[in-house]
Amino acid sequence: MTTPRRQFSRSLANNRWVKVWRRWQRKDVIIVNENHRRYRALECIREGIKDMFEKHPELGVKDNLTEEDFCHIHSKTIKTSQGKKFKFRSYASSVFACIRRAVSVSDHTFLSSVAPDDLEYMEFVSNSRSGQDFFLSHDQQFILKTDKKYYLEFFMSILGDYLMHFQNYPHSLIVKFLGLFSVNVSGQPKMYFLVMQNVFFPVERIESRFDLKGCLGGRYQKPYPEEKGVLHVLKDQNFYNDSIDLGNQRDWFLRQLRHDVSFLRDLGVQDYSLLLGRHELHKDDQQKTFVDLVDRMRKSFAKRKPSSILDKARGLSNQVHHADIIEEEAGEPPTQTQEEAGDKGFTASKRCSTFTSLGSLLGSTSTKLEDSANRRLLLSECKNPLHVIDGTHSRYYMGIIDFFTQYECKQQVARVLKVCKNCTCDHSTVPPDIYAERFLRFIEERTL
């Protein structure tokens, strides 16, 4: 039986003041050990992902996704090595498997990084005020992000559009989500985890990091003295007199940024950010050979699938059919579909019933520039090529994140409060069309 003191301790551990205390101590990255409040949940996520990959190959990549794949739940009760049971769920598993293949993340890489046998996770204490927790895989290639069910329902409702955008623009700067999972641990509320690529990867050489929203109100971060192991993410005011010097990559970048922002504006979202990291180009970054060029061309300008398939997917993506994905509270069926539903859970939009795997976009060899869909020559030697761009003197790491916030009543009230607090209308909570225009203008004016 849980004592009042223990309940109070748990409440305190989950309190936002814990993050404030750590930030005051400038402990932005900490090891998740047995005393960490999320240790048990992360151990369950580790066990659940390992079980899914090793025992359920049917949840992997499919050449053609169906409506059921978008609203599918894999649910299983798993027993840990300590003898404790928990409920693990994976949502739209085959859909996310296709995304992983599209961005060249193999099952082995994903499993060894996100769910290793005995390596520890690291918590990154961010500036986010939404209550999200961010955990880095041991190699910092992936981020496990907790989020509220409300926002994840919205994400599942646009999953078809999200995939279609990558089909139209394979080199999009929007961050790639590679899995959505939840765990039910006895004595704790259900937790949802999104696994996403870390835009700031590889991390060894990055000298400065920014989170840019295109506004100045409340967007200043006091720089800390340089200390080993501390991540400093600065904001718009810190970047105001700075620039992004991309040279001959400028036109591609701004064109892709417009495509991505137009997509987000059409979804009716705002408050997203451009993550920007950079370091000075090193000699080994600039080595270019003919073989390297051929390899880059092969990877960057892959041939598309026949237009008939694309047209079918595009047409079906315009049909908004919503289906309830339930999260069963009893029994342990290995899979779950809408027809077998009992309770309400995530709402998924079945935007297209035949979505050709994104992996095919990078799997064939063709160098037709007219088939590029605003593509560019990706860096063949880079471990994160879709988010890394070489400029004139610096290598940049860029990705658009946090695009789950719709402009609803809560945001409308927050808009008024932020005007009073910051004494300016130039803050992050504005309607999607205004946000998109301002965001683009801020970045364009500082891109050389």
- pLDDT for 27: 54
Asked which of 2-6, 218-222, 315-319 is least confident by mean pLDDT, the reply is 315-319
Q: Can you tell me the distance from the alpha carbon of 32 to that of 136, in angstroms, rounded to the nearest whole number?
A: 10
Mean pLDDT value across residues 153-177:
94
- pLDDT for 352: 38
Instruction: Please report, rounded to a whole number, the percentage of residues in the chain having pLDDT higher than 90.
Output: 51
- pLDDT for 328: 40
Q: 79-94 pLDDT, tens per residue?
A: 877 778 899 999 999 9
- pLDDT for 226: 62
- Whether the pLDDT of residue 45 is over 60: the answer is yes
Q: Can you tell me the distance from the alpha carbon of 31 to that of 34, in angstroms, rounded to the nearest whole number?
A: 10
- pLDDT for 227: 59
- pLDDT for 447: 97
Determine the Cα angle at 145 with ends 140 and 146, to 5°: 150
Structure tokens that stand for 41 in this block: 């949940």
440 three-class SS = helix
Question: What residue segments make up the domains of the chain, in order of their start?
Answer: 26-445
DSSP 22-63: HHHTT--EEE--TTSTTHHHHHHHHHHHHHHHHH-GGGS--S
Alpha helix segments (H runs only) across 56-187: 67-70, 93-102, 107-114, 149-157, 159-168
- pLDDT for 254: 97
Q: How confident is the model at residue 63 (pLDDT cuts 50, 70, 90)?
A: confident
- Whether the pLDDT of residue 241 is over 50: the answer is yes
Q: How confident is the model at residue 225 (pLDDT cuts 50, 70, 90)?
A: low
- Compute the residue count for the chain: 448
Q: 383-434 pLDDT, tens per residue?
A: 899 999 999 999 999 999 999 999 888 877 777 778 777 777 777 889 999 9
- pLDDT for 379: 84
Determine the Cα angle at 133 with ends 93 and 150, to 5°: 60
Instruction: Read off the DSSP letter of residue 186.
Output: T
Q: How confident is the model at residue 343 (pLDDT cuts 50, 70, 90)?
A: very low
- pLDDT for 387: 95
Q: How confident is the model at residue 354 (pLDDT cuts 50, 70, 90)?
A: very low
Structure tokens that stand for 186 in this block: 């006895």
Q: How confident is the model at residue 238 (pLDDT cuts 50, 70, 90)?
A: very high
Place of tokens 């237009």: 307
- pLDDT for 289: 54
The CATH class of 26-445 is alpha beta
Identify the H or E element spanning 314: helix 307-317
